[in-house]
Amino acid sequence: MQYEYIIINKNDLDKALIEYPNTLAEAGFWLIVKAAEKAKEKRLRLEEERLTDLEVRTKRFWSKTVPVGDCIYWTGATDDYGVGVVSSFGKAPRYAWMLEHGDIPDGMIISNTCNNAACVKLEHLQCKWRGNNSA
């Protein structure tokens, strides 16, 4: 079994003794719960720190989508045509494609094969030459 050691500060100890003055066991239990919470917070923080910037942005992006039928819709802001917009970047389908494949080559555009403007599903996005009308 693996134990995690957390230093509980004096404020926590004082609070435990005020809130649970009846028995030392009660106060002790409260402190253990508190320590477990702190350990979990620390673990989550370390996990977040391990993620690269790209992973964080990717996670954030897909957390704002929802599956609809065979598509995946962007649930954030949209432009006048219903195309998703990622603030400080631009079109959500372009953003989705770039998160997965990297920069879009010059002269190429991202188009939607399913004709649902809000869709950002990677399988429904294609990178093609600008001006090519065939899907």
- Chain contacts with Zn ion (rule: CB under 5 A): 71, 114, 116, 119, 121, 124
Hey, CA dihedral for 99, 101, 107, 108, is it positive or negative?
Answer: negative
CA 58 – CA 64 distance, rounded (Å): 10
Pick 58 or 111: Cβ nearer Zn ion: 111
Min. distance of Cβ 86 from Zn ion in angstroms?
Answer: 17
Q: State the DSSP H helix or E strand holding residue 25, giving kind and residue range, or none if neither.
A: helix 24-50
Min. distance of Cβ 82 from Zn ion in angstroms?
Answer: 12
Q: What is the dihedral of CA 33, 34, 37, 41, to 10 degrees?
A: -170
Pick 36 or 122: Cβ nearer Zn ion: 122
Min. distance of Cβ 129 from Zn ion in angstroms?
Answer: 21
Pick 17 or 114: Cβ nearer Zn ion: 114
